[in-house]
């Protein structure tokens, strides 16, 4: 039947795209953005170069890989690779966030504040573990028109988690929803700052902690 044929073709296309994204993700992590080629992705996925280009160019594929990784981080199904780097992920977990330039401020201390920092920490750790690739990702977001999931479904999901935590400490729903959006925007802004500078993981965590500390003040309509 025609409908069955359409469904079968769609399923094959989706399976092929999944192979392409998986191959691209492996190569981006193994070799980096610049060393990864469309032909290399095609070879790894066992498809033609044309099939890869139908799924997207390198920028689009990198964004789609990050959409996948961010979704996995949000669902807790992504395992951060252990990599030795300056300002390691392990040390960032064990030490309070502070400024490397001498101006130390207290990190968020309440249970809810620490919980909110913990929601964002896997994403900051992923950036730290793959700094060069994440900088290429930030640049790709600027070059590619459209709305990746990080600005749509993934944003909504994370903002729901944030607003729920804010409501749990007595912040009104309207303020909690607005603060959740602001915190998400702060998180994205910090990542873009990081991509354009020599910001460290502790500095990024501290910057986010300061924003969280402000938004977790009890605020209700007068």
Give the domain ranges of the chain: 1-56, 67-215
Low-confidence stretches of the chain (pLDDT < 50) are 82-108, 220-222
CA distance 99 to 206: 7
- pLDDT on residue 136: 96
Query: Residue 86: what pLDDT?
Result: 36
Predicted confidence at residue 7, as pLDDT, reads 58
Q: What is the pLDDT of residue 113?
A: 87
Each residue's pLDDT tens digit, 128-150: 999 999 999 999 999 998 888 99
User: What pLDDT, on a 0 to 100 scale, did the predictor assign at position 111?
Assistant: 84
The class that CATH gives domain 67-215 is mainly alpha
Phi, psi of 110 (to 5 degrees): -70, 160
Mean pLDDT, the chain, as a whole number? 84
Dig out the tokens for 103 from the structure: 């101006």
| Structure-token match 């080629």, residue found | 37
CA quadruple 5, 47, 18, 57: dihedral, nearest 10: -110
Torsion of the alpha carbons at 112, 151, 60 and 132, rounded to the nearest 10: -40
CB of 171 within 8 A of CB of 219?
Answer: yes
Topology given in CATH for the domain delimited by 1-56: Arc Repressor Mutant, subunit A (1.10.10)
């Amino acid at each position: 039947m025609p409908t069955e044929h359409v469904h079968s073709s769609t399923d094959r296309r989706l399976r092929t795209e999944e192979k392409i994204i998986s191959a691209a993700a492996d190569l981006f992590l193994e070799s980096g953005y610049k060393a990864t080629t469309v032909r290399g992705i095609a070879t790894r996925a066992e498809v033609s170069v044309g099939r890869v280009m139908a799924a997207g160019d390198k920028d689009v594929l990198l964004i789609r890989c990050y959409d996948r990784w961010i979704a996995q981080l949000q669902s807790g199904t992504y395992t951060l690779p252990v990599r030795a780097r300056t300002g390691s992920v392990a040390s960032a977990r064990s030490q309070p966030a502070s400024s490397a330039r001498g101006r130390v401020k207290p990190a968020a201390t309440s249970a809810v504040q620490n919980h909110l920092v913990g929601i964002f920490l896997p994403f900051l750790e992923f950036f730290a573990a793959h700094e060069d690739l994440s900088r290429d990702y930030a640049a790709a977001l600027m070059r590619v028109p459209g709305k990746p999931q990080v600005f749509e479904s993934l944003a909504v999901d994370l903002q729901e988690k944030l607003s729920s935590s804010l409501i749990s400490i007595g912040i009104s729903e309207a303020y909690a929803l607005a603060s959740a959006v602001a915190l998400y925007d702060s998180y994205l802004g910090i990542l873009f700052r990081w991509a354009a500078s020599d910001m460290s993981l502790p500095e990024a965590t501290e910057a986010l902690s300061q924003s969280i500390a402000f938004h977790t003040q009890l605020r209700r309509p007068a």
